[in-house]
């Protein structure tokens, strides 16, 4: 089984997440995508983060009816700051033997990887799939994919231009996908909601309705 992993705050989940997951699934013939909402995001302030249960509820509404999409509450159960090194370790213990894991992240997160806990170990634990995110693509257009990696670990990779992938010395690979650029962010959705602006078509209608009914993201700047 080939399993994609998409971690995030999902505050709220939006069509940028969903479409990237769908395109990664199709491009790499993944059998399923597991969305893993964090408990506490290590790189973001805690202000304005809806409760884990609320974020899970929005995820459930968003993926309803999609047989390839699932949700895991492993980071929420673990509590504390949600570090990918721990999540991927747990996933490897759970599925590593019989499944090939693909860790999907946006370009904005990928170029920040050097700040993640024990990031250098992540590349030997899973394959990476980097999906395009507007605003983070142009600046990288002329650079080789290896230049997107933290300097200290570039020597551990070689680039296969035919398949647009970086091969790690462990045998794992990092794919770069030219997914549809959707300039949608949870931050902007929260801002729009707080200013009573429409967020229609930026996220699934059921999630939009839930945000409205629950009065989420009203009081933020
Ligand atoms: P925020 O605006 O609150 O920082 P976000 O919209 O970036 O949130 P996250 O939940 O932090 O959403 O993102 C989870 C993952 O999804 C990250 O790897 C991020 O790069 C990726 N991602 C988020 N939005 C998009 C998008 N529009 N296109 C592609 N990838 C995205």
**Ordered mean pLDDT values, 10 residues apiece, the chain (221 residues):** 97 98 98 97 78 97 97 96 95 88 94 91 95 71 71 90 88 93 96 96 98 90 56
Nearest CA to ligand 1 atom 6: 185
161 inside domain: yes
Which of 12, 16, 48, 140 maximizes ligand 1 atoms within 8 Å of its Cβ, making it the mutation to test the pocket? Answer: 16
Domain annotation covers residue 6: yes
Structural tokens at position 106: 């946006």
Residue 120 has what pLDDT? 93
Give the number of the atom of ligand 1 that is nearest the alpha carbon of residue 132: 29
Domain presence at residue 219: no
Give pTM, 2 decimals. Answer: 0.94
Q: Domain span at residue 21? A: 2-213
Whether 218 is covered by a domain: the verdict is no
Structure confidence at residue 106 (pLDDT): 94
| 220: in domain | no
Tell me the C-alpha distance between 39 and 76, whole Å: 5
Q: Please report, for the domain that includes residue 193, its CATH number.
A: 3.40.50.620
Which of 21, 133, 136, 203 has most ligand 1 atoms within 8 Å of its beta carbon, as the pocket-test mutant?
Answer: 133
Among 37, 106, 182, the mutation site with the greatest number of ligand 1 atoms within 8 A of its Cβ is: 106
Say if 9 falls within a structural domain: yes
In a domain? residue 221? no
Pocket of ligand 1 (CB under 6 A): 8-11, 16-17, 20, 105-106, 108-109, 131, 133, 182, 184-187
Number of domains in the chain: 1
């Amino acid at each position: 089984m080939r399993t994609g992993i998409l971690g995030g705050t999902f505050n709220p989940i939006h069509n940028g997440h969903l479409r990237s997951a769908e395109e990664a699934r199709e491009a790499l013939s993944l059998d399923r995508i597991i969305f893993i909402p964090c408990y506490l995001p290590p790189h973001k302030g805690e202000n304005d983060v809806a409760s884990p249960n609320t974020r899970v509820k929005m995820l459930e509404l968003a993926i309803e009816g999609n047989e390839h999409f699932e949700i895991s509450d492993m980071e929420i159960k673990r509590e504390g700051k949600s570090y990918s090194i721990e999540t991927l370790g747990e996933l490897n213990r759970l599925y590593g033997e019989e499944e090939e894991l693909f860790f999907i992240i946006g370009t904005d997160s990928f170029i920040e990887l050097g700040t993640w806990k024990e990031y250098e170990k992540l590349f030997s634990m899973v394959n990476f799939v980097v999906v395009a995110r507007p605003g983070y693509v142009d600046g990288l257009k002329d650079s080789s994919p290896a230049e997107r990696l933290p300097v200290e670990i570039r020597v551990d990779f070689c680039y296969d231009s035919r398949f647009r992938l970086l091969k790690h010395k462990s045998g794992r690979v990092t794919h770069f996908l030219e997914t549809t650029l959707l300039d949608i962010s949870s931050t902007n959705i929260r801002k729009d909601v707080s200013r009573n602006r429409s967020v229609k078509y930026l996220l699934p209608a059921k999630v939009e309705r839930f945000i409205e009914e629950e009065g989420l993201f009203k009081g933020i700047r």
